[in-house]
Every structure is written in structure tokens, then in C-alpha cells.
């Protein structure tokens, strides 16, 4: 398993997505150029998230791993996957030296069936049986939207861990208390797997509304106030969003999180502002000090 999660210092990772539609790979590599200068422990690359491309995940993850020398995490989903199609991707990743996979069921796409795997746990079980990847899986501090209760969702999370998940990454959340309650329940259920906390900085009112509708995260009153006050002013909203993310992360770091996973939204300038604001806290707790 990755050493970042064995160390007492929290891991620091970034998530990016492949270009949408006709967007160019060059723009993603320009994003990675900037993110790489922030010395993350890992960079993960999404796969078809929100209906975006599944085409370039392998190529981007391989380049992160080999040209930037940063450990890459390739996301993979069950949507439309067969054992044959999955093997093709996993063999390529393995040959390219990518050793981390985030195994997901995937966002359901209308008109596209799931394929041979119904849940992330099926994917994890298959990968652990046939390959030697370090496997990451998703978890949901406010429960997955389809789960009847948080308890039922944690029972299902245990299936992913029992199938071999090595590291968990949370869905975005805005209230750390929701995460602390969730972590207590997960630990009480006997799940001791490291949990990286997924943080999405708010960059605009429309972005946060879209994300909240998609994943069901609760907006605390303090964020609602900021949206009401600054939502019409993109500069002010961005500043308030960065300040909120910095405060949220510094509180998580004070509370023994296993890692911070920043949903960068391919906006390296925001990741840079956050990383710089946290430098004294984050970097002093990590191996790679500068
Ligand atoms: P599962 O673990 O299969 O869970 C889905 C639902 O089924 C839950 O309600 C769960 O309680 C239940 N369940 C789980 N296992 C079982 C079981 N064995 N039996 C019965 N019920 C079960 N989506 C993308 O399409 N591409 C991406 O790149 C992507 N990246 C993501 C990264 C992170 C960090 C996170 C948190 C999410 C990401 N997603 C991505 C979204 C994710 O695919 C969706 O949230 C999806 O709806 C659920 O995925 P999962 O892997 O958690 O599914």
C-alpha cells in the first residue's frame, strides 16, 4: 500500500478531469504543469465523471506517473465495463507503471447499462484477484444519495473494504462535523482503512449549485450567507470560497485526517492559493518540506 498513508503525516492529493468535448489534452497538461509545482503526493484522474470523457484517463494518468514522476491514481468505473474491456485498461495502466486505481461504480449514464460489474465492490474484488494495484474507493460522509441510511451505506462500504480497498476518499462535504460523525461510525464498524477527505473549493454560485444537486451535499448556513452576499460577484465569491476551503482544511488537519484530496476542477490557480495559504500547516506536517 502507498507509504503516504502509513506515515503519520497526512497525504495531499489533487483530482483533475480529462478534457470535455473537443477540449485539448494540451490544456490538461498545462494544468498538471502548475499542479506539479505544488508537490502533491498523488494526482488522480477522473473517468467519465458527470458524463465527461472516458477516453483519456489512461493517457493522462500514465503521463503524470512517467513524465511528472508523481504517483497517479486512475479512476475506473463499472459503467459499460466488461471483464475484457476492463482487462484492456488495467493491462495498459500496469504496463505504464500506474499502480493506483480508484474503483467506482460510476455516475449512472442514461441509456448505458452498468455492464458485468454492478458495484464498486465487484470491481475491487476482480482487481484484487487478478492484479496487484493499490485500490482506492469512494465513501460518503452524508451517505450516498441512493442509500436508505448512513448505516446501510457504511455496511456497503464495509463490502468494499472486505473486497480489498486500501484507501478511501470521501465525497465532497462542507461541514467538518458531518465528516467527524461519519468517521466515528466507520471506525466503530471496524473499518480502519485510511480516509482521505475530499474538499471542493467553491468557485462560483453556479458550480456549487450543480455539485450539490449532483451529490446531495448539504450547504451549511454560513455558505448560504456567502452565496447570498457574493454570489453575483465572481471575484468576491471566489475569494470567499478559497477562504472557506482553507479554514475547512486547516480544521481537518488539526483533527488527524489521513489526507486531503482537493477537487481542483482543473483550476490550478485556486489549488495554488489554497496550498500557499496552508503552507505553514500542511508542509510542516509532511515529509516533503521546503
Ligand atoms: P458503490 O460503492 O457501488 O455504491 C453505490 C450505491 O450502492 C450506494 O448507495 C451503496 O450504499 C450501494 N452499494 C454499494 N455496494 C453494494 C453492494 N455490494 N450491494 C448492495 N448495495 C451496494 N464517477 C464517475 O463516473 N467517474 C469518476 O471518475 C468519479 N470519481 C469520483 C471520485 C470520488 C472521490 C467520489 C467520492 C466519487 C466519484 N464519482 C465518479 C462518483 C461515483 O461514481 C458516484 O458517487 C456513484 O453513484 C457511486 O459510486 P461508488 O463507487 O461509491 O458506488
Q: What is the DSSP string of 39-90?
A: --SEEEE-SSGGG--SSSHHHHHHHHHHTS---EEEEEE-TTB-HHHHHHHH
pLDDT of 22 reads: 76
Radius of gyration of the chain (CA): 18
Ligand 1: residue whose CA is nearest its atom 16? 156
Whether the Cβ atoms of residue 222 and residue 158 lie closer than 8 Å to each other: no
Task: Specify the pLDDT at position 119.
Answer: 97
* List of the chain residues with pLDDT < 70: 1-4, 6-8, 51-52, 283-290
Q: What is the pLDDT of residue 51?
A: 65
pLDDT of the residue at 28: 96
Chain segment 142-156, per-residue pLDDT in tens: 999 999 999 999 999
Residues near ligand 1 (Cβ within 6 A):
46-49, 75, 77, 102, 104-107, 119-121, 138, 144, 146-147, 153, 156, 159-160, 169, 171, 198
Q: Which atom of ligand 1 is nearest to the CA of 140?
A: 36
Confidence at residue 54, expressed as pLDDT on a 0 to 100 scale: 82
How far is ligand 1, taken at its centre, from the CA of residue 104, in Å? 5
How many angstroms separate the alpha carbon of residue 71 from the centre of ligand 1? 23
Tell me which of 144, 157, 173 to substitute to probe ligand 1's pocket, judged by most ligand atoms within 8 Å of the beta carbon: 144
Catalytic residues, by residue number, are 15
What sign does the CA torsion over 155, 160, 162, 165 have? negative
Atom of ligand 1 nearest to the CA of 155: 11
Residue 147: the pLDDT is: 97
Span from the CA of 68 to the centroid of ligand 1 (angstroms): 29
CA of 118 to the centre of ligand 1 (A): 10
Buried-exposed string 70-92: b where 16+ CB fall within 10 A, e elsewhere? bbbbbbbbbbebeeeebeebbee
Q: Which atom of ligand 1 is nearest to the CA of 261?
A: 34
SS3 state at 14? strand
Q: Measuring from atom 32 of ligand 1, which residue has the nearest CA?
A: 138
- Check residue 171 and give left, alpha or beta (phi > 0: left; psi -120 to 50: alpha): beta
Question: Could you report the per-residue pLDDT of 41-70, keeping only the tens digit for each?
Answer: 999 999 988 766 788 999 999 999 999 999
Beta-bridge partners for 73: 44, 100
Contact by Cβ (8 Å): 120, 135: no
Amino acid at each position: 500500500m502507498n507509504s503516504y498513508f502509513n506515515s503519520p503525516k497526512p497525504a495531499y492529493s489533487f483530482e483533475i478531469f480529462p478534457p470535455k468535448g473537443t477540449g485539448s489534452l494540451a490544456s490538461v497538461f498545462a494544468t498538471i504543469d502548475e499542479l506539479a509545482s505544488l508537490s502533491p503526493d498523488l494526482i488522480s484522474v477522473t473517468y467519465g465523471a458527470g458524463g465527461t470523457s472516458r477516453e483519456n484517463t489512461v493517457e493522462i494518468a500514465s503521463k503524470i506517473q512517467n513524465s511528472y514522476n508523481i504517483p497517479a491514481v486512475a479512476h475506473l468505473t463499472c459503467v459499460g465495463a466488461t471483464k475484457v474491456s476492463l482487462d484492456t485498461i488495467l493491462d495498459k495502466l500496469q504496463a505504464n507503471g500506474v499502480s493506483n486505481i480508484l474503483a467506482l461504480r460510476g455516475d449512472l449514464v442514461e441509456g448505458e447499462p452498468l455492464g458485468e460489474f454492478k458495484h464498486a465492490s465487484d470491481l475491487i474484488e476482480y482487481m484484487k484477484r487478478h492484479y496487484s494495484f493499490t485500490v482506492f474507493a469512494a465513501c460518503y460522509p452524508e451517505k450516498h444519495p441512493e442509500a436508505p441510511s448512513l448505516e446501510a451505506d457504511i455496511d456497503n462500504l464495509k463490502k468494499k473494504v472486505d473486497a480489498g480497498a486500501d484507501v478511501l476518499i470521501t465525497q465532497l462535504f462542507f461541514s467538518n462535523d458531518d465528516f467527524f460523525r461519519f468517521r466515528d461510525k466507520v471506525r466503530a464498524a471496524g473499518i480502519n482503512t485510511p480516509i482521505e477527505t475530499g474538499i471542493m473549493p467553491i468557485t462560483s454560485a453556479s458550480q456549487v449549485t450543480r455539485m450539490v444537486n449532483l451529490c446531495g451535499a448539504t450547504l451549511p448556513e454560513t455558505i448560504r450567507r456567502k452565496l447570498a452576499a457574493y454570489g453575483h460577484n465572481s471575484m468576491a465569491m471566489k475569494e470567499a470560497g478559497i477562504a472557506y476551503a482553507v479554514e475547512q482544511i486547516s480544521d481537518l488537519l488539526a483533527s488527524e485526517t489521513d489526507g486531503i484530496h482537493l477537487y481542483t476542477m482543473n483550476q490550478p490557480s485556486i489549488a495554488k492559493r489554497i496550498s500557499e495559504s496552508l503552507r505553514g500547516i500542511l508542509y510542516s506536517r509532511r515529509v516533503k518540506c521546503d
